Amino acid sequence: MAGAGRGPRERMVFSAAQLIRREGVGATGLREVAAHARAPRGSLQHYFPDGKEQLVNEAVGWAGRYAGNRVARFLAALPEPTPSGLFAEMVRQWTDEYETEGFDGGCPVAAATVDRARTADSTRQAAEAAFARWTGAVAGALTDMGVPEERSRPLATLMISSLEGAILIARAERSVRALTTAARELGPLLDAAVTRPATDGGPGGTAGNRHRID
């Protein structure tokens, strides 16, 4: 997860996302964010005049962009892209993390939704946008692989639902089981949705790139 170098503002957003996904929104203090980002505490009110809510929203936005952009990289890593292969990569990002760094972290968008969906509507909207961006990237990739338009978005939603739920269970169990199960059980269903040959991105172009938003 890149994001170490940048300016203090970006570092704080990044640190906020890190802390939120570990402890939840409520238990993440602003002083803690500043310390984690090695940024001056005074900069918080300078860069985020609307306070914690703004910082949280930007952290959620960052997470959504990150997840969306990640899809293109997963595709690039696959010798020949298939829906099940993409999902396996998405899952593998989490199993890798859990096996090397422990089960401390979850998804910051999920945390923001759980902690703030009811109370802070702007945060709820940020989470909605993050999910939309992520879903859009996955759905675009599925279409490129030959999944019919109408099925791409539902299947992308199903993939992300299963992944988010499996992340929860994995953290609760401190086991990667739910994640690998999701990948194994869902794989065939996803591949069965391919009805025409994959769109070839051609040399120099990665399939799915045109779905990236920035």
Q: Which residues bind its own copies (CB under 8 A)?
A: 22-27, 103-104, 106, 109-111, 113-119, 124, 127-128, 130-131, 154-155, 157-158, 160-166, 168-169, 171-174, 177-178, 181-182, 184-186, 188-189
Q: Establish if 52 lies at the interface with DNA (CB under 7 A).
A: yes
Binding partner of 46, given its own copies, DNA, none, CB within 5-8 angstroms per partner class = DNA
Per-residue x/- track, 17-46, DNA (CB under 7 A): -----------xxxxx------xxxxxxxx
Q: Which residues of 93-125 are buried (b: 16+ CB within 10 A; e: fewer)?
A: ebbeebeeeebebbbbbbbbbebbeeebeebbe
Indicate which of DNA, its own copies, none lies near residue 6 (CB less than 5 to 8 Å, by partner kind). Answer: none
Nearest CA to 56 out of 98, 93, 27 is that of 27
In the chain, which ranges are continuous DSSP H helix?
8-23, 30-36, 42-47, 52-77, 83-101, 108-116, 121-144, 149-173, 177-191
Q: Which of 3, 8, 24, 154 binds DNA (CB under 7 A)?
A: 8
148 binds, among DNA, its own copies, none (CB under 5 to 8 A by kind): none
Which 8-state DSSP code applies to residue 199? P
